[in-house]
Chains A and B, each alone.
Chain A
Amino acid sequence: MSRTVLVAKDASFGYDKNSILSNVSFEVNSGECLGILGPNGAGKTTLFRGLLGVAPPIRGKVVRHTKRIGYVPQQGHMDPAWPLSTLELVHMGAFARLRGLRRLTGLSREDRRLAEANLRLVDLWEERRTPIAVLSGGQRQRVLIARALMAAPELLLLDEPTAGVDKPNQQVIFELLKNLIDSADRKPGAAKPAVLLVAHELTWITQITRNVLWVEAGRVRLIPTDQVASNLSASNHFFSEAAHG
């Protein structure tokens, strides 16, 4: 059954009390997949961080009706100085459940099994001992998706999951996300997660979302995806710019 997992009400987002986005209001229900789109520099990342809870709104409110939140950052933001193995990175996703002596002994058996299942899902179990710094961009992004799944998320937020990833791996990641969104239907009792996705690839967005949050000129509008696709004459400029860096 569908339920509301995220609500933004008259929220303004920005930095140092300077508002970049104002009066943002919308709701996201479980099973819903929303794209976050807009020109470069319009405030997509600001909105994303606000919804995530990392940079709370400077006015209004954002309410997350679940603690099971999966977060997938851009793989390029991961610092290669840290000698983390693939498995260690995935385990991080379950650190919310570390309490008492578990801090010393590490994750529970169930969480270790879940980590194995998630790494198999992204086809990287064989690389579990490989340092993440030596994985390709696409592999790193898949590991980050596996890490987000450790929360068994009811709300999954992804920040440009194909940024810095080659074309074949972009397709792999797209298929993976599509399967994730669809597969929850096949698990008895499992609710479909709500998914929010910052992306530049409009072809993707049209395949997996019905609505997008369009971010432009300090405003956020919830519009049908086909409306974005059919009014691309101006936006194409931005997307092609973004695609070419």
Chain B
Amino acid sequence: MGDLPLDLIWELFGYSILAALVAGLVVPLVGSFLLVRRTGFYGVTLPQFAAAGVSFGFVALPWWQTHMSWLLDAESLGDESHLALGYHLQWAGLFTMAGLIGMTLASKKDGLEAGRVAASFAIASAMTILFSHASPVGEIYVHSLLKGEILAIDGHELGALAGTLALVAVLLAFFRRELTLASYDPDLAVVLGKRSKAWEALLMLLVGTTVSVSVMTVGPAVLFGLLVIPPLVARPHAKSMAAFLLLSSTIGVLSAAAGVWASFHFDQPLGPTLVAASALFLPASAVATRCRG
């Protein structure tokens, strides 16, 4: 594909390139909060729950078509692509929220939180494989999602991703101070009359929404990479929360741009290439940190 002219690449893969850039811009903002809340593992586990939800959607499809046909009216919901996106999104969202609520509510006092999140990852991975195995169509689709083949993104998917992530970014920008306060010092939030739990719930809702929609469009691999790596690269170089968020997002966009270029140049799947490009920032960041002393 490295030989294709640019205008043809844009015509064929414009939606995918834009999706990668949009995800690179916003997903690291959500990941930044996960990282400093010491819940970075959620960035790996939640996309796996969403993938399990997508594969469960294929298993449930025959039952759904029989009993919930009034909800599957393609004419009233737009074309089939829109309908399929909505259908799988509901399962991805449901599984993500269930995983998120389970991990959030589990006791943190016994010091076993990391173990529980790791167990959740194992369970979600197993569910993804088992549900996929039960539905041959689902198996092909989920395999493609996991492999990070995001070149087939259509206009509906890009619209859903861009619309959702724009809303997430606006809410994060608007409420970032309260979200920071409730996460960093919940006691002070209570003293100041803020509803600490409500802000925490909003943050979790933003995380869940981002993960559900992103898994359905750019896939778990890209999501893993963008949730975790840019914030991890940015953290040692940020001297304020504002700088941290800005730097994370910038590294996310640069990773997406470099990933897109490398994917076409070396003819590799876009998803994993984007993550590899993002990972190159890690040693560069370590060297910069060491040089600075």
Q: Which of B166-212 contact A (CB under 8 A)?
A: 173-175, 177-178, 180-181, 184-185, 187-194
Min distance, Cβ B200 to any Cβ of chain A, angstroms: 15
Would B184 and A95 count as touching, CB distance under 8 A?
Answer: no
Complex Cα distance, B194 from A54, in Å, reads 11
Complex Cα distance, B190 from A19, in Å, reads 22
Question: Which of the four size classes fits the interface of chain A?
Answer: 20 to 34
Complex Cα distance, B174 from A103, in Å, reads 6
Would B174 and A129 count as touching, CB distance under 8 A?
Answer: no
- Which of B187, B188, B241 is the one whose CB lies under 8 Å from A88? B241
Residue with the highest number of chain A CB atoms closer than 10 Å, among B191, B192, B243:
B191
Q: Which of A83-105 contact B (CB under 8 A)?
A: 83-85, 87-88, 91-93, 95-96, 98, 103-104
**Chain B residues with CB under 8 A of A91:** 177
- B182 (CB) vs chain A CBs: closest residue: A95
- A52 (CB) vs chain B CBs: closest residue: B191
**Chain B residues with CB under 8 A of A104:** 173-174
Number of A-B contacts (CB under 8 A): 84
Would B184 and A84 count as touching, CB distance under 8 A?
Answer: yes
- In addition to A52-B191, A83-B235, A84-B184, 20 A-B residue pairs with Cβ atoms within 8 Å of each other are A49-B187, A53-B191, A54-B187, A54-B191, A69-B191, A71-B187, A78-B185, A79-B184, A81-B38, A83-B36, A83-B238, A83-B240, A83-B241, A84-B180, A88-B242, A92-B181, A92-B185, A95-B178, A103-B175, A147-B188
Min distance, Cβ B202 to any Cβ of chain A, angstroms: 13
**Chain B residues with CB under 8 A of A73:** 185, 187-188
Chain A CB within 8 A of B67 CB: no
- A73 (CB) vs chain B CBs: closest residue: B187
Min distance, Cβ B28 to any Cβ of chain A, angstroms: 14
A-B contact pairs, 16 of them (CB 8 A): A52-B187, A53-B191, A54-B190, A54-B191, A73-B187, A79-B38, A82-B36, A83-B240, A84-B184, A84-B240, A87-B240, A95-B177, A95-B178, A96-B194, A104-B173, A129-B239
Q: Which of B220-267 contact A (CB under 8 A)?
A: 235, 238-244
Complex Cα distance, B187 from A85, in Å, reads 19
Q: Which of A32-81 contact B (CB under 8 A)?
A: 49, 52-54, 67, 69, 71, 73, 78-79, 81
Question: Which of the four size classes fits the interface of chain B?
Answer: 20 to 34
Would B193 and A67 count as touching, CB distance under 8 A?
Answer: yes
Encoded as 1 (CB less than 8 Å from any B CB) or 0, chain A from 96 to 125 comes to: 101000011010000000000000000000
Min distance, Cβ A143 to any Cβ of chain B, angstroms: 12
**Chain B residues with CB under 8 A of A95:** 177-178, 181, 189, 192, 194
Could you list which residues of chain B lie within 8 angstroms of chain A, going by C-beta atoms? 35-36, 38, 173-175, 177-178, 180-181, 184-185, 187-194, 235, 238-244
**Chain A residues with CB under 8 A of B235:** 81, 83
Would A83 and B174 count as touching, CB distance under 8 A?
Answer: no
- A70 (CB) vs chain B CBs: closest residue: B191
**Chain A residues with CB under 8 A of B243:** 83
Min distance, Cβ B199 to any Cβ of chain A, angstroms: 11
Task: Say yes or no: A82-B191 contact (C-beta < 8 A), given A103-B175, A103-B178, A131-B239.
Answer: no
Chain B CB within 8 A of A130 CB: yes
- B175 (CB) vs chain A CBs: closest residue: A103
Complex Cα distance, B242 from A140, in Å, reads 20
- A79 (CB) vs chain B CBs: closest residue: B184
Would B178 and A98 count as touching, CB distance under 8 A?
Answer: yes
Task: Say yes or no: A85-B185 contact (C-beta < 8 A), given A95-B192, A96-B192.
Answer: no
Would A103 and B177 count as touching, CB distance under 8 A?
Answer: yes
- A104 (CB) vs chain B CBs: closest residue: B174
Encoded as 1 (CB less than 8 Å from any B CB) or 0, chain A from 154 to 189 comes to: 000000000000000000000000000000000000
